[in-house]
Amino acid sequence: MQSTNLKAENTAPAESAVLVTPSDSTDLTNLCRALYVGGAGNLNIDMADGTTITFSGLSSGQILPVRAKRVRATGTTATNIIAML
């Protein structure tokens, strides 16, 4: 039985993807379903609920299944970041 807090559109696979340019002032065009990290490092993001968090020590090729609205430039050292929508 599916939880009432889970919406089908939030758990479905990504339908598109866009390259992310980290910014401290600009949100992503849409909330992402996940973030792909092409180059190892840290990722400082604003979650859908407004929480800001840094994921440290990410590996190249790692996928984070997060609903993020912004990838911040400050604190982000990971590269080749792709938002999966």
Q: Could you tell me if residue 20 is inside a domain?
A: yes
Q: Using CB atoms within 10 A of its CB, is residue 34 exposed (0-12), middle (13-18) or buried (19+)?
A: middle
Host domain of residue 75? 15-84
pLDDT band at 1 (very low <50, low <70, confident <90, very high): very low
Rounded to whole angstroms, the Cα distance separating 6 from 23 reads 29
Q: Could you tell me if residue 4 is inside a domain?
A: no
Q: Could you tell me if residue 8 is inside a domain?
A: no
23 touches 71 (CB < 8 A): yes
Q: Could you tell me if residue 7 is inside a domain?
A: no
Q: Could you tell me if residue 61 is inside a domain?
A: yes
Q: Could you tell me if residue 80 is inside a domain?
A: yes
Q: Could you tell me if residue 3 is inside a domain?
A: no
pTM, rounded to two decimals: 0.87
Per-residue pLDDT tens over the stretch 38-70 = 999 999 999 999 999 999 999 999 999 999 999
> Beta strands of the chain (E only): which ranges?
17-19, 34-39, 41-47, 52-58, 62-64, 68-72, 79-84
Instruction: Look at residue 9 and give its three-state secondary structure.
Output: helix
Kindly report the CATH number assigned to the domain that includes residue 21.
2.60.120
